[in-house]
A and B are shown apart, each in its own frame.
Chain A
């Protein structure tokens, strides 16, 4: 699948440094005595803080930089997909509930979840009747077909996910901007105004999840489309509409859409009367405004910067207004199966790794939780797994003796030398590399560290098998988050041999194992989610048995919610607060 460039790109900047941090796995509510009873540290991670149904008020959202696009069909950031729910409805959307339930697809424009036929190759959705755009015209099946068709033209819409062109059986269709005749697009059929039928090339069991995660099935009437400029004022099908146009790098205002019918939409509370968005702020300025109440929400939702983090964690009053949920990422270290072909040598690396230092690199408890399985905890059906060749015990510094035994078995009793790469503009990854250089060195594995810019790292260096081979790269820092929270969404791109590509490769271990590949070929034919999840967990186990990935931490973010923000909860599907259901008090 397509790499979540999105996430990677989003966190590429300084933002990444500050992925928040605090963990607490369970009952640790820190020094919550500073806040009121309702606002304890991390209360929003599993429940609703300040629950409210009160309509009215102005919700102010801000961000550094900007959206990749405000066009629902052209955004790939998780926060973009979260935000466009305010003014666009899709076939399916995430359930709006706190906790693990929010991961489940829920019908939005559709009456019910899509129905598969023809061995998961045909998916049929029925639309609710009488739904309207902001201009009062009716939403029709053909508009969804058009919306999907326009995602085929990467020259016009370059940011969004590219799943539909990969999956749909549409020949070499080039998109509606090059071919005005929509009947030439064979990937979707619309037998009547309220039926959408997707035709797939190959069996694909998680199509409901796929149409849930992005805004690409939000309807677009062909006569209103303005290509790349459509993003400035997409025609609203949701509870809000743009007042005038959105101004990139500056911001815009959303006001109520009177043609939206709340009774058809259980997933959006739409509490505020007005939503003001300010873009292009400096990252630390966003935090300052959040802390002094000028802003309610930091849009990217990846957590506060280091300066604010320090302030929040050392002040019990502020800490009570912060949440520390799983951010969706697992930061781990792929080990090249090409440059280190012997599994015993890879095991030696895992044995020798100083997990304590690697965990500290991401900011201790608040930054992340030491990982066991490859799939992070927010993945549906994920089993915790057990430590293989390593330990998640507190203070575990690696096992030099076991590592030396593995080196013996590998036929390299004196160790070996290899290169480790990392993203030079990410201090946390540099700290991981330095920690491994030290701890692997004790077992005789000599690492040479090389940093590359985050902008090219996943595409041209660690993500390029020819580069990895030429530079004899043995391991590197990496992070991955799923587009949608299932084992397929998380593991396929990083472990299926078919997923290895010449550039932008998301499987830097280059794991191409016949056993695992066969599991991937078989799993897509299964209808039952529980059966699939069992296989995903087996694949997870196999990856670790083959020591193709050295686990590190499940990322946690530190989100701040001002006290004037109401109805706040962490949404696991988006990995941040649920923007369509926030309210304001006072």
Chain B
């Protein structure tokens, strides 16, 4: 993709007279990096489309109760009067799609598929987003430290990342989710009042999913941050800061981190869809959110044995995952192009 900024730039450079002629009419403003990136992003239609879809999805998830109230039925309510008792399939055409049930009915229990997709977005987005936040925090902190200090610190952290990347994550999470109790104190030690803070049921499952997914995807961010830091710490402005007596903490926070924001932002956007897929995979394997709370991966699991009876039940949650992941990926790609055209 051509970087649009160069086009306008070359215009001004190629025609200095015109530029000079412009003086007085409208002052040329210096554009910050952020502004330039925003301009580039705005012109990337695919990325903008991705961004709009993301915003819509977030709104849908946030206002799920309202949306469902207007357009559907409570997500856990059974409507078995529309289900054939022997075959388990909805009696209407196309899985029972109608004005009343926009996406049709779930086979068997006869729950409103539209409502379940809308509520399912909450789980997918929340877990995908929070897990990414966890990964970014851990990954950035350790990546910067490894890259900046080098030496044995770097070796230790880099090897740890290798271990995490080589870990049979899926097996581990299946085992871990299987053994956790129904209720867990956040701090299982210390004075009594700390035990008041405990999680149970789906809150605990969510927290655990976020923790597992985030805790195991930080090396992806960590490696990139470490690489960037390695080159940044040799740059002149870092030397300058150091020669003026700045401490390590100051240099990391004030000199290096601001320069890392672009890559972190880009890779976070690309990590979110990966994490959404991972949540779907865990739910698919039955170690995700507990029923009856709807989740897209969970719906797909249910659908695999029913695809001949109710094809819509495979297609709709599948499409939901596809559209979400696609939107994040397109937006992430666009963001990368905008922030750092050379990185392609």
Query: Could you list which residues of chain A lie within 8 angstroms of chain B, going by C-beta atoms?
Result: 14, 17, 21-22, 306-307, 310, 313-314, 354, 356-357, 359-361, 363-367, 419, 424-425, 427, 430-431, 433-435, 437-438, 448-453, 456, 470-472
Contact = CB atoms under 8 A, between A and B. Distances in A.
A427 B78 contact: no
A49 B302 CA distance: 37
B283 to A, nearest CB: 11
A313 B87 contact: yes
Chain B contact residues: helix, strand, loop or mixed = loop
B305 A365 contact: no
Given A306-B308, A470-B181, A472-B182, A438 B86 contact: no
A17 to B, nearest CB: 5
A365 B86 contact: yes
A430 B291 contact: yes
Nearest to B201: A448
B108 interface: yes
A244 B53 CA distance: 65
A202 to B, nearest CB: 39
A306 B309 contact: yes
A450 B88 contact: no
Nearest to B307: A307
B80 interface: yes
Given A306-B308, A424-B286, A449-B290, A367 B76 contact: no
Contacts of B108: 360-361, 427, 431
A366 B84 CA distance: 12
Contact of A453 (B76, B178, B181): B178
B85 interface: yes
A425 B306 CA distance: 14
Interface string B111-150: 0000000000000000000000000000000000000000
A471 B184 CA distance: 11
A438 B78 CA distance: 8
Interface of B: 76-78, 80, 83-88, 108-109, 178, 181-182, 200-201, 286-287, 290-292, 302, 305-306, 308-309
Contacts of A472: 182
A354 B110 CA distance: 14
B86 A313 contact: yes
A438 B292 contact: yes
Most chain A CB within 10 A, of B76, B84, B88, B302, is at B88
Given A313-B86, A367-B86, A449-B291, A357 B80 contact: yes
Given A360-B85, A471-B182, A433 B109 contact: no
Contacts of A419: 182
A472 B200 CA distance: 13
A452 B292 CA distance: 15
Contact of B182 (A21, A433, A448, A451): A448
Contacts of B181: 470-471
Given A306-B306, A453-B178, A470-B181, A433 B85 contact: no
Contacts of A448: 182, 200-201, 290
B27 to A, nearest CB: 65
14 contacts: A310-B87, A357-B80, A360-B83, A364-B87, A427-B305, A427-B306, A434-B76, A435-B109, A437-B292, A438-B78, A448-B290, A451-B286, A456-B178, A472-B182
Nearest to B287: A424
Nearest to A452: B178
B83 to A, nearest CB: 7
B86 A366 contact: yes
Contact of A438 (B77, B87, B306, B308): B77
A449 B292 contact: yes
A452 B286 CA distance: 8
Contacts of A310: 87, 308-309
Nearest to B202: A448
Contacts of A361: 108
B72 to A, nearest CB: 16
A282 to B, nearest CB: 14
B24 to A, nearest CB: 72
Contacts of B84: 364
A424 B290 CA distance: 10
A431 B298 CA distance: 13
A434 B293 CA distance: 10
Contacts of A424: 286-287
Contacts of B305: 14, 17, 306, 427
A360 B80 contact: yes
Contacts of B286: 424-425, 451, 453
A427 B45 CA distance: 43
Contacts of A449: 290-292
Given A363-B86, A419-B182, A425-B286, A438 B309 contact: no
A52 B225 CA distance: 78
Contacts of A430: 291, 302
Nearest to B303: A427
B116 to A, nearest CB: 12
Contacts of B292: 434, 437-438, 449
Given A364-B86, A471-B182, A431 B109 contact: yes
B182 A357 contact: no
A354 B80 CA distance: 12
A448 B290 CA distance: 8
Nearest to B81: A395
A314 B89 CA distance: 12
Nearest to B108: A431
Given A360-B108, A427-B302, A438-B78, 20 more contacts: A21-B86, A306-B308, A306-B309, A313-B86, A314-B87, A356-B80, A357-B80, A360-B88, A364-B84, A364-B88, A365-B85, A366-B86, A427-B306, A430-B302, A431-B108, A434-B76, A437-B76, A448-B200, A449-B292, A451-B291
